[in-house]
Chain A
Amino acid sequence: MTETLIRMEGVSKQFTKGVLAVQDMSLSINRGDFVSLLGPSGCGKSTALKMIAGLLPVTAGKIAVAQPTTKSEQDLGFVFQEPTLMPWASVFDNVWLPLRLAGNDRKAAGDRIRAALTEVGLSRFETSYPRELSGGMKMRVSIARALVTRPRILLMDEPFAALDEMTRMKLNNDVLRLAAEHALTVVFVTHSVFESVYLSNRVVVMAARPGRVAADVTIDEPWPRDESFRTSEKYVQECNKVSAILKSTLNMDDIDH
């Protein structure tokens, strides 16, 4: 039986300045799904993600996020486009934050913090400060911080957009591995067709002005994927398919102007 963890029904978001950022968006995300939100800049991807996280109120419609079954600190992890670390705190203390806010002291949280850092390959950098890390390492800290509460749902807003291609591919594989190991349900925002097809079993293509769902494409390939998928015929086909859909929404957009 598939369990729906996130359900959006006719969700719209109108900012006070009059921008209709998201219009009538409906989406069901099941347990274990890896869903990418793909679309051009300004189509409301971040807005949608923030509404799911409860950071922005909806103007119309409804969002239901499943309540945690076991008592945990936080059932939802959020990774921003920027690493969003506290520059005055060490790597250890940055990852501690979610547990700390839930009332765990350093010692009680220690094992989980170290486990999360090991999972992203940063166990040797506990005492480093963010400024001493590369962009990719900072992003890993950010991911460790999101995972430290053992959430079921992981929301990621263009996490790797600012990184170079090699680092990005490596982190893509890390995210796939972590998502599979922890049976995470992931909503992953991206600009990149290649990234979305590689990572997800569903690509939700969004169109801009107003932001809305243009297509919901299932990538019906074995999951989790590995590097061999990148060079396969299937991958190219799926990318072409998604690209074509994305392009058609852009054309509609051009006519609007």
Chain B
Amino acid sequence: MATSQSTTSAGIRTWLAGAAAPVGLGVILLVIWQASVTYYAVPHYVLPSPVRIAKALAEDWATLGLSLLSTLRVTFVALFLAVTLGVMLAILLTQWRWLERSLLPYAVVLQVTPIVSLAPLIIIWVGDIQVALLICAWLVAFFPILSNTILGLNSADHNLVDLFEVYGATRWQKLVLLRLPASMPYFLGGLKISGGLALIGAVVAEFVAGTGGSGSGLAFRILESGYQLRIPRMFAALILISITGIAIYLVTNWISWLILHRWHESALKREV
């Protein structure tokens, strides 16, 4: 236990050391940005200064916070549905190969169709705008999970499969004790991609729904601010979207590390 504790704190220390450089660079860039906007007297409806953006963020927090919540809700519900449905369908498809052969081509067609081109249709067909947004975000997040998990479930070592056969393992035992653990690195790779895509899907769908909808998401705020030429507020909404994206990236990476760090090459730090 003592060793795992010390590796954790050592891990945090190296992580902090790794974060210091990009954070420092960011601060320097912000200072340069602020200085040049002030020095050249750039009008704030062209490029607002960081301070002005921060002020807009604080002043409009009531509206922007609600919008953030709305976008977050669509993103995470979509991601949750993508994970549960994606993994379940992947298991079904790999248990019955004829199902995989007949269904997968259609899944690929849906996957390669750009979501922007489907979004208007979905919004027209589905009455409830929130549900429509959810479907769009889900559509893009679903396929990486599905295809990666299928790949993972089929990637179990052949000798291990033979070993399970020798000991008369049932289909269920093979799934739970062999195929699912073997699929983890692939599934988690899919999760990292889908986390980002769910946000993109939600934002794109909000753009398409635009002012016509009851839209209260962050993308809607960006459109609205654009029409009203409230550029600092536009930047504030943009920053909230970026931070959400970064948070999703960090959380999915962390989940992946939690599950894989004991055994998988991708999560191992080579000891020196």
Contact = CB atoms under 8 A, between A and B. Distances in A.
Interface of A: 50, 53-55, 73-74, 76, 78, 80, 82, 84, 86-89, 97-98, 100-102, 129-131
B166 A76 contact: yes
Contact of B167 (A80, A97, A130, A131): A97
B181 interface: yes
A160 to B, nearest CB: 16
Chain B interface category by residue count: 20 to 34
Contact of A86 (B166, B167, B181, B268): B181
Nearest to B184: A88
Contact of A102 (B162, B167, B178, B262): B167
Interface in B156-188: 157, 159-160, 162-169, 173, 177-178, 181-182, 184
A118 to B, nearest CB: 22
B184 A101 contact: no
Nearest to A73: B167
Contacts of B268: 131
A88 B167 contact: no
Interface string B224-245: 0000000000000000000000
A205 to B, nearest CB: 26
B101 interface: no
B263 interface: yes
Given A50-B162, A84-B163, A101 B262 contact: no
B262 A129 contact: yes
B162 A97 contact: no
Contacts of B262: 88, 129
Contacts of B177: 86, 97, 100-101
Interface string B191-216: 00000000000000000000000000
Contacts of A84: 157, 159-160, 163
B264 interface: yes
A159 B178 CA distance: 22
Contacts of A53: 162, 166
8 contacts: A84-B157, A87-B263, A88-B184, A88-B263, A88-B264, A97-B167, A129-B262, A129-B263
Contacts of B167: 73-74, 97-98, 101-102
A78 B263 CA distance: 24
Nearest to A74: B167
B202 to A, nearest CB: 33
Given A76-B166, A78-B166, A98-B167, A87 B264 contact: yes
Contacts of B181: 86, 88-89
Given A84-B157, A88-B184, A97-B177, A131 B163 contact: no
B2 to A, nearest CB: 14
A78 B163 contact: yes
B159 A82 contact: yes
Given A74-B167, A101-B168, A101-B173, A86 B160 contact: yes
B169 A101 contact: yes
Given A88-B264, A129-B263, 18 more contacts: A50-B162, A53-B162, A74-B167, A74-B168, A78-B162, A78-B163, A78-B166, A80-B159, A84-B157, A84-B160, A84-B163, A86-B177, A88-B181, A89-B181, A97-B167, A98-B167, A101-B167, A101-B173
Contacts of B163: 78, 80, 84, 97
Contacts of B178: 86
Contacts of B159: 80, 82, 84
